[in-house]
Chains A and B, each alone.
Chain A
Amino acid sequence: MKREYLILATVFLLLALVPFLAAATGQTSWTRLVGQALIYGMAAASLNFILGYGGMISFGHAAFFGIGGYVVGIMYHHFDAGTSFLGVIPGTDQMLITLPAAVLVAGLAAALVGAMSLRTGGVQFIMITLAFAQMFFFLFISLKTYGGEDGIMVRRTNALPGLDMRNRDTLYWVVLCFAAAYYLFLRRLVQSSFGQIIAGIRQNERRMASMGISTFRYKLYAFILSGMGAGLAGALMVNFLRFASPDMMHWTRSGEFMIMVILGGVGTLAGPFIGAGVLFTVETTLARYTEHWMLPVGILLLVVVLTSKGGLMALIRKLTGGQK
């Protein structure tokens, strides 16, 4: 227990130092890259809660990520133009409003998709989540007011009282704090009474039903919580990149989230963050050398899936002598 806190605190400090390291070494792109990887890690971690802990293989997670992002984009658009969403809801650039709104809307979307898809399981569930995500993708493409295929520019990052959010380093630290808070939230969640029920459902749904658990309700609740997390990540990403586009919810993005989860290790807390960091680093590094970076990524993924169980976390655990 003590050791875990020590590791967490060390990692947090190291990450907090990234902007200074970047400035010292002249690698100014580092802050931006690590920030993005942290946000992707949050999205992957939210997916991992239903995938790894709950056994629900959702292939539509990017939809909630994108929806969260669009909430920020759309609210900024109306703020900028001095108009109102649907003529009722005024726009805003206040992060204390946009983020909760993004989480809420993503949760609503997850409630809809979950209610439809969780009535089945297995292959149907995978295909239905995939299809609904694609529906949201087409929805946002058709919204010409919000840029259609091109997406929305958010010219200025949302404001947070007392902070200069136009400073890239400040923004990075805000993102880091959100990522840390989300990690701690998930850590708490999987240890909670609800987390135990979800773990039970993954292992044996029939048994849980025979103990009086209405598994559908619990799975739906987990699905919504997970979608909210992805919405938060999406909202942060749009703040971080100052741009929202339908690409955020393309189905290959859902695939990438899954890859992050499996690379890092399914059903582990740190795994998705590690997986996100590794995949994002591999992608950006390879992309520098070849436009065909997807080929080695594909081969790497295939090899990992066919040969290993447990991803990189299992490897780390093996190397550190079976410690947790």
Chain B
Amino acid sequence: MNHVLEIAGLTKTFGGLTATDNVSLTVNAGEIHALIGPNGAGKSTLINQICGELMPNAGHIHLAGRDITRLPPAERVALGLGRTFQITSLLDDMTVRENLALAVQAREGGNFRIFDRAANRAEVWDEVAEILAASALGPRAGVTVADLAHGEKKQLELLMALSQRPRLLLLDEPMAGLGHLESQQMIDALLAARGDCAMLLVEHDMDAVFALADRVTVLVYGRVIAAGNADEIRANPAVRDAYLGEEDT
């Protein structure tokens, strides 16, 4: 099989609490794989272990066939891992354009050059212009990030993550706090990007999950209780009990 991401037996404990308990899952090339579960199910802990911000107690993570379980975060990025944050995390003093430029520059390299002019790097700025031209954020390019609306920040995060040209994109609640229209825009943006990279999507918005996901894994109390395609998950009684049922009431 052509797995972009393969997680096997991943376990992480904090003191007595088991946040992820023997979790295994795979993401295939070009696939959107959703990870759902109630609050406190260990979704963010799992994302942070894949990124390398947390070290698992046991288990393995493979990215495109390479064992990345013990690699520092930056090296995982070099191997093709991109992410967005649950709480938007951007460079607040810089403009939209500058944020994107730094993301592109980080990927392009030459980051230790001390005698060049970052403002004159045509390969960076051309690509930034291209990205902005294709995005709804284009007209906002000169706005400082601190002055952006919440939805715009979410969009910018996605653009920055995509500009890294990742093999796998980890999306930590991309719809959180978005209005109906903004959510629809985000879904469209993700659908447009699905050809370029595989995605592991953590999300509470079930409409979005079912609109996007090829496969869904359900996490409850750190454990995988079900996995399958959208229809199977909808029909799964254990999932309805543990999770989907809550929403009906």
Contact = CB atoms under 8 A, between A and B. Distances in A.
B114 A210 contact: no
Interface stretch (B37-45, B86-94, B127-135, B191-199): B86-94
Interface in A166-212: 188-189, 191-197, 199-200, 203-204, 206-212
A193 B92 contact: no
A211 B112 contact: no
B64 to A, nearest CB: 15
Interface in B69-92: 72-75, 77-78, 82-83, 85, 89-92
B180 interface: no
Interface size bucket, B side? Answer: 35 or more
Contacts of A188: 114-115, 117
Given A191-B119, A215-B74, A210 B112 contact: no
Contact of A194 (B82, B94, B113, B119): B113
Given A192-B118, A196-B118, A209 B74 contact: yes
Nearest to A207: B89
A225 B74 contact: no
A204 B87 CA distance: 13
B114 A213 contact: no
Contacts of B115: 188, 192
A193 B110 contact: yes
A203 B90 CA distance: 8
Main secondary structure of the interface of A (DSSP, over half): helix
- In the A-B complex, the 3 residue pairs with the smallest Cβ-Cβ separation, listed nearest first, are A212-B77, A211-B106, A214-B74
A221 interface: yes
Contacts of B91: 199-200, 203-204, 207
Interface of B: 51, 53, 72-75, 77-78, 82-83, 85, 89-94, 101-103, 105-107, 110-119, 121, 160, 164
A218 interface: yes
A197 B117 contact: no
A199 B119 CA distance: 14
Contacts of A199: 91, 93-94
A188 B114 CA distance: 7
A211 B77 CA distance: 6
Contacts of A206: 53, 85, 89
Contacts of B93: 199, 203
Q: Which of A192, A197, A210 has the most CB of B within 10 A?
A: A210
B9 to A, nearest CB: 25
A197 B102 contact: yes
A225 B90 CA distance: 27
A211 B102 contact: yes
